[in-house]
Amino acid sequence: MKKEKPILFTGIRPTGEVHIANLLAAIYPAVKAQDDYEEYLCIVDLHAITTPYNPEDMSQAIKEVAVDYLAAGINPDKVVLFVQSHIPYHTELMWLLNTITSVGELQRMTQYKEFKSRYKDAKAGILNYPVLMAADILLYKAKYVPVGEDQMQHLELARDIAKRFNQTFKKEVFPIPELAKLTEKPLRIKALNNPKNKMSKSLGPKSYIAIADDPDTIRRKISSAVTDTGPSQDTEKMSAGVANLFLLLRLTADEKTYNHMEEHYKNKTLKYVELKAVLAESIIDFLKPIQEKREELLDNIDYVAKVLSEGREKAYHKAGQVIKEVKEVMGLL
């Protein structure tokens, strides 16, 4: 008998260029796990429209996220790669889950508070974002969710909503989702130009290294990354900016290079220009194969559209079964 695979869900907002933190926190874990998990990888356009955007750019942004997933090594024969708004059940389940979610718990979310202060007149979509995210995950009965540290609070809420649903309607409809144990701990890569914030598409290109950045752009961005005045004489503790560069080095370079730089730092002989030069080359090498594949896919965009259309069929089928079960236990069928 065929053994059932554990189910994994993850999403990326088509809000601009996909960057190295998206790659390391969400895309790579899915690539590594694609043989062993049943995967639903979603381009979450309904989340993207909760912050200001240009409708004319959306269709291209969606295709580019698909290109990035594929270029990073996702095999569309093994996973379901699809666009959130193609499956109307996401918003339907969101409404149903809204009825068991309290306004207070949504108002306590850090991302809501951040977006509210960044975009002033914040819309209800931002408040309800985590309910849609819970719906995204639960609609496929996903148990494992690779996300960055910034989404852990939302994942925690999705767990609460799943438990509450099962209790309220007295049936174990949803598994309780958790962080996919594919990274050692939730990743938080900081913005290069301001390490107080996380690297983000919405903070602009200076905050991130895009998957598509050419070598000179990468060198320039890394060389202007915020550090400090030099390894301190009286403390071992790295400043946030330097720790962030070391984190990127650990994730992209070989162990020997990393250890060498760390040794240097400990001996207080490291010059940050040197660290930055080594890091820039390591990121360039790390991204090179993905960039080559990216170019091929961009020249073959009809293939990418076909992948998304096939993904839509498969996602629709699975989500349709789950929404039916949900409506049954809620007395709606």
C-alpha span between 231 and 269 (Å, rounded)? 8
Q: Counting beta carbons within 10 angstroms of the beta carbon of residue 279, is it exposed (0 to 12), middle (13 to 18) or buried (19 or more)? A: buried
Q: Does 193 bind ligand ATP (CB under 6 A)?
A: no
| Span near ligand ATP by CB under 6 A; candidates 31-39, 193-201, 276-284, 293-301 | 193-201
Q: Does 199 bind ligand ATP (CB under 6 A)?
A: yes
Minimum distance of ligand ATP from residue 92's CB (angstroms):
23
Q: Which of 78, 110, 81, 73 is nearest to 290 (CA)?
A: 73
Residues 6+ apart with CB under 8 A from 60: none
- Helix (H) or strand (E) segment spanning residue 81: strand 80-83
Q: Which is nearer to ligand ATP, 204 or 289 (CB)?
A: 204
What tokens were used for 78? Answer: 């093994």
Task: Judge contact between 313 and 86, C-beta under 8 A.
Answer: no
Minimum distance of ligand ATP from residue 244's CB (angstroms):
9
Task: Judge contact between 10 and 47, C-beta under 8 A.
Answer: no
| Span near ligand ATP by CB under 6 A; candidates 80-88, 198-206, 287-295, 314-322 | 198-206
| Span near ligand ATP by CB under 6 A; candidates 158-166, 185-193, 211-219, 258-266 | 185-193
Minimum distance of ligand ATP from residue 117's CB (angstroms):
14
Q: Which is nearer to ligand ATP, 65 or 106 (CB)?
A: 65
| Span near ligand ATP by CB under 6 A; candidates 94-102, 181-189, 291-299, 310-318 | 181-189
What tokens were used for 207? Answer: 């905050």
Q: Which of 56, 23, 26 is nearest to 40 (CA)?
A: 26
Q: In what order do the strands lie in the sheet with 144-145?
A: 80-83, 38-43, 7-12, 144-145, 178-179
Minimum distance of ligand ATP from residue 308's CB (angstroms):
17
| Span near ligand ATP by CB under 6 A; candidates 82-90, 187-195, 259-267, 322-330 | 187-195
Q: Which of 7, 12, 225, 283 binds ligand ATP (CB under 6 A)?
A: 12
What tokens were used for 183? Answer: 């990274």
Tokens 């991204």 belong to residue: 287
Q: Which is nearer to ligand ATP, 148 or 177 (CB)?
A: 148
| Span near ligand ATP by CB under 6 A; candidates 160-168, 200-208, 258-266, 277-285 | 200-208
Minimum distance of ligand ATP from residue 147's CB (angstroms):
4
Task: Judge contact between 240 and 190, C-beta under 8 A.
Answer: yes
Q: Does 198 bind ligand ATP (CB under 6 A)?
A: yes
Q: Which of 7, 8, 9, 15 binds ligand ATP (CB under 6 A)?
A: 15
Q: Assign 58 to helix, strand or coil.
A: helix
Q: Which is nearer to ligand ATP, 49 or 322 (CB)?
A: 49
C-alpha span between 241 and 247 (Å, rounded)? 10
Q: Phi/psi of residue 77, each to 5°?
A: -80, -20
Cα atoms in the 13 Å half-sphere on the side-chain side of 325: 16
Residues from 129 through 168 that contact ligand ATP (CB under 6 A): 147-148, 150-151
Q: Does 189 bind ligand ATP (CB under 6 A)?
A: yes
Q: Counting beta carbons within 10 angstroms of the beta carbon of residue 36, is it exposed (0 to 12), middle (13 to 18) or buried (19 or more)? A: exposed
Minimum distance of ligand ATP from residue 170's CB (angstroms):
32
Q: Does 311 bind ligand ATP (CB under 6 A)?
A: no
Q: Does 294 bind ligand ATP (CB under 6 A)?
A: no
Binding site for ligand ATP (CB under 6 A): 12-13, 15, 21-22, 25-26, 147-148, 150-151, 187-189, 198-202
